[in-house]
Every structure is written in C-alpha cells, then in structure tokens.
Structure 1
Amino acid sequence: MPVVSISMPADLIERLDALTAEHDYTGRSEVVREGVRTLLEEFENDRLEGRELAGIVSVLYDFGTQSVERRLTQLRHDHEEHVASTLHGHVDDYCLELFVLEADLETISQFVGRVRSTEDVQTVDYSLLALDSVGQLRDVTSSS
C-alpha cells in the first residue's frame, strides 16, 4: 500500500490519537483511511445528483482570525449567484458563519471543499435538502 505523508496541528493529532485508542483502531492510518472513505462517499451521493438543492453550511473559527474572514468573504463573492443568505455571529470565543446556498451538488461540494481547505477553520458542517422534495415532505408531515 502506498504511503501518504500529511501534516496537521498538534491538537488535531492528539484528538486523532484519542479517537484511535477509544475506538480500538489499529492506528492512525486506519482512522484516516476511514475518514477519507467517508468524505469521498459524502460527495458521491447519486440520489442528489442533477437536483437543485438548498444547502446550509456552518463554519466555526477563532474570533478575530482575519485570514479566515477574508477567505470566506472571497468565497461568498466567488459564489454570489448561489449564496442566498449569510449570517455571522459569535459563540463563546468563536465566529460562526452560516451560508445558505441554492445550487446543484457539485457546486455546493466545491464550496464546502474550499471552506474546509481554509487554514484556521475549526469546523465545517452542512446539510442538504433537495428542493423538489419540499412539497413531498409537506404532504408526508401533514398527513401524519
């Protein structure tokens, strides 16, 4: 099996090692391989291909990290035709940026990937909703 070398902050390595021990993985490589598989599957979701989606992307980073603020502003401008709304707030010592996007899976995946690759971002989470299923969801919930 080929070897891939990666670098990461010490605190992330500590969390990786704790997860490895807590869940009885054989080592860091096994955890990283599982994480990569999960990430690849996340972006290869066939049931959402070709559908118009609403996506909510949340980004958490340390308060006052201007490089992240500049990068997120640039991403918002780069994707302005797909960003329906943004919200910036403060939680504890962090900034929380929420993006609401209306786009296809590929566009939202690219956006999320670019946010995740931004240095000093602590966490990135997102959820997707196929817009053509909204009426169906309403029908199901109203008949319950």
Structure 2
Amino acid sequence: MQRITISIDDDLLETIDRLSERRGYTSRSEALRDIVRDAVVREQSTVSGSANCYAALSYVYEHETRDLARRLTSEQHRHHDLSVSTLHVHVGRHDCLEIAVLKGTVDDVKGLADSVTSQRGVRYGNLHIIPIEMAADEDRPPHHSHDGQAPHE
C-alpha cells in the first residue's frame, strides 16, 4: 500500500465527506480507493476484450412493445452460458426492470448487452463490468467471509 498526498478544493472535499458518510466509509482513503476503482472499471477500453469478467446488465423496457419480452428472453437463451441470474421487477403499469448478472469474456458480455439494450422498447440500459483475475481467484481460499459474516464461495 502506498501513501499519497493530494490537494483538493474545499467544495470537492465536502462532497467526498458527504459521500463517505452516506455510504458508511470509515475513512476518506477507503472512499477515494473505491472512487478510483470505479473510474478504472468505467474506463472499459482498458479492459481486454478477452479478459474474464462479471457484469450487471440493467435495463428498463416497455413490456407491451410487440414481441419484446419474447425477443429479450430468446436473446438471453442464445447466450445462456453467460447468464448467472436474472431479476425481473414490475416498476409500473407498462415498464419492467431487469437486472442480469453475467459472467464471461468482456467481448461476449458486451455483445449480449448491446443486443439486449438495442431492442426497440428498451430504455435506460446500463452495463457495469467488473474485471476478474483468474489468478486472484485461484489464490483465494475456497471459503472466505466479509466483516464477520457467514463464509461463502
């Protein structure tokens, strides 16, 4: 771990402190590390297309759009090997929210996301990619826990 010093204006520091408090960070360093990690992940062009990743694909769609639900389901079945889980929520009389957890290569995940979010009737599509290092997974013990919670794989 390296220690760095930064200069930051008062308004931005107040924003970081409010964010830290709202999210429950115990230090500014923790908050800034997560902010930087998020910025790195959002800079997806730096992630190799062949790299493995987890991803969360979220989108809102109008369920009454002709054949849209069937087309979305068919698209996900065509890429069943990427799907970990899907959550479907009725957010209003006409709209549904779906969140799909995916695992595969960045290129494959982006391809599925593009084919889903480009469908007529789909709105608010967002893909959040989380790169994973296979070597890091191999080094981690099979059961680990977070903050004293029950262990998981």
Aligned to 2:111: 110
What does 1:50-69 correspond to in 2, within 5 Å? 50-65=50-65, 67-69=67-69
Q: CA deviation at 1:44?
A: 6.5
Aligned to 2:128: 127
TM-score, normalised to structure 1, is 0.57
RMSD: 2.7
What does 1:63-102 correspond to in 2, within 5 Å? 63-65=63-65, 67-93=67-93, 94-102=95-103
Aligned length in residues: 97
Q: 1:88 to 1:48 in 2, by over 3 A?
A: same
Q: CA deviation at 1:59?
A: 1.5
Return the letter of the residue paired with 2:129: L
* Partner Cα separation in structure 1 for residue 107 and residue 69 of structure 2: 24
* Partner Cα separation in structure 1 for residue 118 and residue 86 of structure 2: 19
Structure 1 window deviating more from structure 2 (114-123 vs 80-89): it is: 114-123
* Partner Cα separation in structure 2 for residue 58 and residue 87 of structure 1: 9
Name the SS for the 1:110 alignment partner.
helix
Return the letter of the residue paired with 2:111: Q
* Partner Cα separation in structure 2 for residue 81 and residue 63 of structure 1: 25
Aligned to 1:49: 49
Write the deviation string for residues 20-46 of structure 1: whole angstroms up to 9, x where unpaired.
Answer: xxxxxxxxxxxxxxxxxxxxxx89713
* Partner Cα separation in structure 2 for residue 63 and residue 72 of structure 1: 10
Q: CA deviation at 1:132?
A: 2.0
- Indicate the structure (1 or 2) with the bigger Cα radius of gyration: 2
Structure 1 window deviating more from structure 2 (83-92 vs 60-69): it is: 60-69
Aligned to 2:33: none
Q: CA deviation at 1:66?
A: 5.0
Q: CA deviation at 1:117?
A: 1.9
Q: CA deviation at 1:116?
A: 2.2
Return the letter of the residue paired with 2:50: G
Structure 1 window deviating more from structure 2 (45-54 vs 102-111): it is: 45-54
Q: 1:43 to 1:115 in 2, by over 3 A?
A: farther
Higher normalized helix content (fraction of residues): 1
